[in-house]
Structure 1
Amino acid sequence: MSNLPFARHRRLRTSNQLRDLVRETKLHTEDLIYPIFVLEQPGQKNEVASMPGVYQVSLDFLLDEVKEVVNLGIRSIILFGVPEEKDDVGSEAYNDEGVVQKATRIVKEQYPDLVVVADTCLCQYTSHGHCGVIKDQFVDNDETLPLLVETAVSQAKAGADVIAPSNMMDGFVIEIRKGLDQAGFENIPIMSYAVKYASAFYGPFRDAAHSTPQFGDRKTYQMDPANRLEAHREAESDVEQGADFLIVKPALSYLDIMRELKDRYNQPIVAYNVSGEYSLIKAAAQNGWVDEREIVLEKVTSMKRAGADLIITYFAKDIAKWIKE
């Protein structure tokens, strides 16, 4: 054995108590935002086939779902609407009696202290499944912006605490900010999907939200997964335009981007642990190939370690239970 001195790093790993004492990254239920898919048709609670344990719930069952979330100590939800009617311009998204608006009023009346985040997009409301107005088989950026503003204002009027625009149109943050301010909602923050990649991990979500594009794809407005500097340009624009939070979506394949944004900006960073990441683990766990609890906690801890202040995750209820154990 060498006489040279060496560090005994293992001293701090010798027991659960010591490991807990020196753990650098810790999860809290306050970090979690739980997504809920809301249907207009009454009497519905439909499990999403590709997302075991995740349900589309109708407005009359919504409070049952929310009560469970609140009882687990989760303080934030994000609402996604699944409307009965769709058209070319997604008019149900900005209908004051639309499904998200109704859901928001129901939740806020019963649970006024729960933070309700409203997803602000058109894709699940359009007959073609794209996130904006179509002109010559192409999403028209500037024609779409006024509709997004209408949607955000309508959601704020319904009681949404946070507006989360996910459409990736250029200028969406500044236009929504101006629209909210002019409507008297200057204190409503914008949680921007600032860095949203055109990812293969979104498939199960499109089952849940009924938002699959009917032609083409979303690569003309969502980002190329190969690009890093583009993420900085997108985030910088959103910060300059008034974004209050910055979302990175998906989370797991873009931890490097998350870390860089955290180091560069003062806005809270939000990781979106997306549907494909959820479904892969669920499928593996159901086959006995992985320990679901251990792999989920490791995964979301990696997101916090990479710089996430908040995590949107379909595992939120499970994580909250595991944290309490």
Structure 2
Amino acid sequence: MTTAETPERAGRPAAERPPTETKILFARARVTRRDQTVFLGKLLLAAALTALGCSLALREGLWASAAGVVLLAAVYTHMVELQHQCLHHSAFTSPRPHRPVGVALGLPLLVSYTHYRVRHLQHHKHLGTPQDSEFFGFDTRAPLTWGMLLRGAFDYGRLLTVAREVARSWRGTWAYDAGEISERRRREVVAEYRWMVLPVLAAAGLAVAGYGGQVLELWLLPLLVAAPMHFFLELPEHILCDTETTDVLRNTRTIKGSWFSTWYTNGNNLHVEHHAAMTVAINRLRERHEEVSRLAVHVERSYPVFYWSVLREAARNSRPGRRARPAGDAA
């Protein structure tokens, strides 16, 4: 379900709308101590859920162990969303903690903080243009089909890409392939990929020492399960939106969601609000949702409503004899 809006509003980029229409949405705001406290609370909860997942995964019995693996996969996915807030320096009142905390949050799923940050900030800058390129690289402009969904959900080739980046970093041949990058950022990316050998070597050492089962249950299996979780969490952001415009009110989707989905995605459901003011603390985006509901084209009531529209579009594009249309052209 999308919001209804007048043709006049729908046809104008955000920059051309009357200031009164977007005053709240595009307003900047500094990170406060309260925002920082909220984020620290999220970190503590993630740590507690990780401990619970480890406890369940190591129990005897298939169902308890499986529940622990799934919980760990869900928490590791959630941690990448917390890392996303660190990318924008909107978690702490000082910029300094963002990188060390962000690096730690991305480690379970082998996501380099600085590499992700550089690519993601470029995504914000170039959204709606041919230069747009996200770090997690399924193409939201490609036709939405069952094949696209399956390839995106089970993209384990990303792990091979990470291994290649690690090897290049250790050889000293790593180079940025998506535009320009400062020498300082390049050194940070190389350092982070080099650090990734530490958990891999630790896991290998534990396996040799006879703890291979624990390594499998606490990391490798959750890593595999997290891949489709993360894909479907990221999918709503721009798919089936207008990819030929730079107007954030047309090229991005917001999902009102529940308190649970807002917490689990760390506010990723409020994506129009985030793109309109990317340095605003995530916990304060809800204040802007009423304005987005009035002005944005793609506003969904819930995640089930969105996923149902995805399934319908994939089914339509996958019918024999039907020519698949670009996702950005979908109604």
TM-score by length of 2: 0.27
Report which of the two has the higher share of helix.
Answer: 2
TM-score by length of 1: 0.28
